[in-house]
Amino acid sequence: MTVSNPPESKQRTSKRLKWLEPFALLFPSGFWLVSFLLVPTIFIFIQSLVPLGKTEFGIDNYLRVFEYVGGNFIYLTVVWRSLLYAVITTGFCLILGFPVAYWLAVIAPKRWRNILLLLFVLPLWTSSLLRSYAWITILRPTGVLNTFLNFIGLSGINVLNKAEGVIIGMVYTYLPYMVLVLYTSLERLDLRLLEAAADLGANSKQTFWQITVPQVSSGIIAGTALVSISSFSDYINPQLLGGPGSRTIASIIELQFLGASSNRGFGSAISMVLILAVTIVIALLIKYGDRRVVSDS
């Protein structure tokens, strides 16, 4: 399901109200998006420039990101941790998701492909909070995982309230997105090229890296961008599956707005940092990937 436009209708001769039609079609949603998305973003940008307790503009809120207390960059550590979680999650999703997408798009029997893909991503349509809650049930010290490990004679492990728990939850949450994007890309794989490569004596490793990967590179980039953006700004998984030592950017923002140590200017500044990071990824995506990440959600 790619979004592409049919050729614009140039044969249309009627001149009446030429400009009014697109205006009537596009104004309502444009008005809504400008009022409730763009203007609010400008508001937080302005607020981010007003330091706490002051009325004149300044960049104190941005400098606070680099605050150094007791031998620790308290906020920079959080930014770094969010980045690390995002990179690890994206890596796992790519490694685990690629074979799944390949199997669904190339190997699975043709008439089952759509239904199998739908079945694989179906958990995506269930409540994300409840999925994280399910992982708590599985990962807690007396949970399903440890009961199973004890049953087969192994000692239990404790990953809940640690980085490992957050990563498990995030990989679970974002794997279906990765598979969806890779699937649309792999679906268009030209299998004749794979055969030709095999005929010309390439082994399966060479075929994979030199024929398959280049053909789907735009899909890989799109999937990577989608998963890294979403996991970088995830709130639910770090909050529910991570302990106090697993705070990420989203939870710092939440604390500044709804928490006890409220500082909206600083919260706005971190939000702007987040938006900037996402903008960079999108810019890279537009340059090196394709726009399917937007149209295939």
Partner 1 sequence: MANAINVPPIKRWQTWYMLLAFFYMYLPIGVLTIFSFNKSPSPSQWAGFSLDWYAKFLQNEILRAALKNSLSIALASVSVSAVLGTLTAVGLARYYFPGKSLYRGVTYLPLIVPDIAIAVATLVFFAAIKLPLSLGTIVIAHIVFCLAYVAVVVSSRLASIDPKLEEAALDLGATPVQAFLRVLLPQLLPGILSGCLLAFILSMDDFVIAYFTAGVGSTTLPIAIFSSLRSGGVTPELNALSVLLILASASIAAIAEAIRSWGTHD
> Total residues contacting partner 1 (rule CB under 8 A)?
94
95 touches partner 1 by CB under 8 A:
no
Chain residues 26-55 in contact with partner 1, contact rule CB under 8 A: 26, 28-30, 32-34, 36-41, 43-44, 47
Which of 9, 55, 155, 203 touches partner 1 by CB under 8 A? Answer: 9
Chain residues 141-180 in contact with partner 1, contact rule CB under 8 A: 142-144, 147, 172, 175-176
Least CB distance from residue 232 to partner 1, whole Å? 8
74 touches partner 1 by CB under 8 A:
no
86 touches partner 1 by CB under 8 A:
no
Amino acid at 134: A
278 touches partner 1 by CB under 8 A:
yes
Chain residues 104-123 in contact with partner 1, contact rule CB under 8 A: 106-107, 114, 118-120, 122-123
Calculate Rg over the CA atoms of the chain.
24
Least CB distance from residue 292 to partner 1, whole Å? 11
Least CB distance from residue 63 to partner 1, whole Å? 20
